[in-house]
Every structure is written in C-alpha cells, then in structure tokens.
A and B are shown apart, each in its own frame.
Chain A
C-alpha cells in the first residue's frame, strides 16, 4: 500500500478520517520538503477561497501558501461580501466559482457544507472548517508540529488541556492519534470534559488514556501539551464563563514539572491559558505551529493539484 503523489491528485479534503496513516505521513513528508520551497509550482493556478464565516488565521495561512507557490487566490472573507446574503444556495455558488478556479477552499458555518460542495464540483474542495464539525488542515498542522518538534509521531504522550468539550481541533486530533499509538491524558473541568463519543473512540481504538484533574502533575511524562482556550461564545451564562475561563493557566511555575522535551501546542488565539512568560521557553511551539501551517498547506495544495513533484528535492 505504498502512497504516491498520484493518490492525492484531484482529491477532496473533507475530514481527517478520509486519510489513511500512510497518506498522512506522506503529506507530512511533503510538507517538510515544502518548508523552504521557493519555486512556483502554482504559477498560473487560481485558488478560490470562499469564507462564509470569518477566520483570519486559516485564510491568511492559505493565502500565504498560495502566494509563496506563485498561485493567485480569489474569494471573499465573510458571508456579507458574498451572494449568500442574496439568498443564493451554496451548491449554486460553488458551481459558478468552479469555472473561475482550480481548487476550492471552503469555510462555512453549517456542518457538512464542504461535503455538499464536493458533490457539486469536480475540482478539489478543501474543508477549512464547517461549523463545529471538521477542520482537517488544522489537524494535519498539529500532527506536523508534533513530529517536527518531537522528532517522531509514534508513541507520543499527549496531554490535552482546557475546553475538551466544544473544541473541534481537539476532537479531530484525538480521533486521529490512534493511528500513531499515542498515549493521551485529558485535563479539563468536568463541565468541559471530552464528550463520551470521543472517549469511546479512544477506547475502541485501543488508545491508553486517563483523565486528570490537575495539569501540573500530568506534565512530568508528557511529550506534547495541547492547550486550548475556553470560548466565551460557548456559554449562555456569562457567570459560567467567568467560572471556567481561568481554571487552567500554564505559567513557568506549572512548567517546572515538565519534562525537557515537552512541546506546547495551541491552535490560537489564546486568552489567558498560557502566560506570556512561557513564550520565550523552548517548549513554546505554538507560534512555530502557526508557521508550519503554511508549509503543510503548501504541500496539500501542490499535491491536490498534482504539482508537488515539480519542486526540486
């Protein structure tokens, strides 16, 4: 079951579970090759970025990837600028845009939007977030960062901390870690515990995991700490939000117990969950993580468009 570039050409990227372990590793290898790529394999290609929901970080990361590879991006950054405000169906919009572009990046507030778009167009569709459902490129970036920072992806001990209930990035990463024989520790207030269906996924995939009340004592043997922010918009009661938002704060004091090789990841933006004093530590990988995102997205775009091989090795 050897993977080649051909396996990616023209493919849609809707959920992480569409990809096998070998395919993910192939993508990460390609991303490593693209980290310092200066060629322009996307020259003459047009990438359409339809962002029906604002997401500055993801959009900029993709636009940077397109620009660095010599491609052109078109599109809009929020639904207000699109014909959706005039009541146009998504399926109509994507069929129109298909004629303007070679690949479609789609972010949409409704779940399943990317799968639907992919059914209506022949060009590759990349899901850049569909509601609370999936955001596969974030997960690829997380995996790339873990491997890049830890030097391996197999057998890592990963601690997740913060909002494990609503965090889409956490759910997606948790679901894929089973492919890499990870050990998992979950640290959250009980209100923000990882939902049962995802705990069952861990169990049924044979992942060893435990739930711990305390971050500090969980760090001693951890390779990766995946911090998340508690999002205000998840709470209907502002007092509830105030109660949970600062439950876990990572500062130098908490970090004392950490092993030397610990890498701290965060999908960003952060609020107070990581103190600024941590930023200067070698553990702090979250800004590098954002930067790796461009390499991973460059690799993905080039693979889907069948031009990844045009880069000199």
Chain B
C-alpha cells in the first residue's frame, strides 16, 4: 500500500482486464485521453458489422483516467492513425495478430500533413478550389493545426475530419 491508500498492483491488474480480453486479431488503441474515444472511433472507416468496443473513463496509472478502443479483425490505416493522434496525442496503437501484440506504435500528431481535416475558415481558398488543405501543427497541447493557405489556427476540439479516408 502506498500513501494514497491504493495498491498500484491492483490498479495494474484492473487495467489488464480491459487490455487483454481476448482479441485474436485486430487493433487496440490505448491511452486515449478520457472523453475522446467516441470521437476517435467516429473517424475510423470500419467495414459494416465490424465489432468494436469502447472503454471510457478507465483507471490509468499514466493518465489518471483514459479511454480505450478495441476493434476486431481490423487494422487502422496510416491516415486513420494520424487522425486519432490529432484527437488524442500520445495514444498507443497495438496491432494484434494471433492473440498477441504484433506491433505497438506510440502515436504522435504529424508535424505537417495534407488533408485529414478541412480548414474551418469559410473564406479559405481551399474550399472554392476544391483542393485538400495543408496544415502544420502550431502547438501540441491541445493540438493546434494552422492552415498553410489562409493561416487559420484550429484547435483539436474544432477539427472537422475529412470523410473520405
């Protein structure tokens, strides 16, 4: 028992319950900031009837509270992973194959990117020309993207994600 009266081992065990419930093949997105799972799930382009589980406000040693997403029989594309990183920087992505972690990736927002989101400035030239936006990350916490064309700064909670991933 530590000062706070909590047993860190027990907390870890509780975490494990969520993390390792048997996924034969698929993706686990862990360490999502609490409250971001629904939004992160919404940017994924899953095939119809693809099973997905969301865990919300789970205990986490690192974050206090965290969200988690598990998807069966689906591996995220690079674009989807980048979108998730924009919503929740420093989440972790695990690709599960044959009941074990085949690959684990620490997500980070891209420094500069084309597309993924659209500029929120109605009078930005990208809209009338029908071209994908270009952005660079202007600050990290919260993630703020700046449009390379019109200069508009957009914070993460205002991101409008492209539909066609």
Contact = CB atoms under 8 A, between A and B. Distances in A.
A84 to B, nearest CB: 10
A75 B126 CA distance: 23
Contact of B149 (A91, A112, A132): A112
Contacts of A116: 125-126, 129, 131, 149
A137 interface: no
Nearest to A110: B125
Contact of A134 (B128, B129, B151): B151
B76 to A, nearest CB: 30
Interface residues of A, number: 18
Interface string A14-50: 0100000000000000000000000000000000000
A107 B114 CA distance: 25
Contact of A110 (B128, B131, B148, B152): B128
A116 B148 CA distance: 9
Nearest to A91: B129
Contacts of A242: none
Given A133-B151, A197-B153, A111 B121 contact: yes
Nearest to A92: B129
Contacts of A134: 151
Interface string B135-165: 0000000000001111111000000000000
Contacts, number: 51
A108 B125 contact: yes
B149 A115 contact: yes
Contacts of A111: 121, 123-125, 149-152
A89 interface: yes
B124 to A, nearest CB: 5
Contacts of A133: 150-151
B151 A112 contact: yes
Given A115-B148, A116-B149, A130 B125 contact: yes
B124 A110 contact: yes
A109 interface: yes
Interface string B104-130: 000000000000000001011110111
A115 B125 CA distance: 9
Given A89-B129, A90-B129, A91-B129, A112 B124 contact: yes
Q: Which of B121, B128, B149 has the most CB of A within 10 A?
A: B149
Contacts of B126: 112, 116
A113 B125 contact: yes
Contacts of B128: 89-90, 110
A313 B53 CA distance: 74
B125 A112 contact: yes
Contacts of A15: 151
Q: Which interface residue of B121, B131, B151 has the most chain A CB atoms within 10 A?
A: B151
Interface of A: 15, 89-91, 108-113, 115-116, 130-134, 197
Interface of B: 121, 123-126, 128-131, 147-153
29 contacts: A15-B151, A89-B129, A89-B130, A90-B128, A91-B129, A91-B131, A110-B124, A110-B125, A110-B128, A111-B124, A111-B152, A112-B124, A112-B125, A112-B147, A112-B148, A112-B151, A113-B125, A113-B149, A115-B125, A115-B148, A115-B149, A116-B125, A116-B126, A116-B129, A130-B125, A131-B150, A133-B150, A133-B151, A197-B153
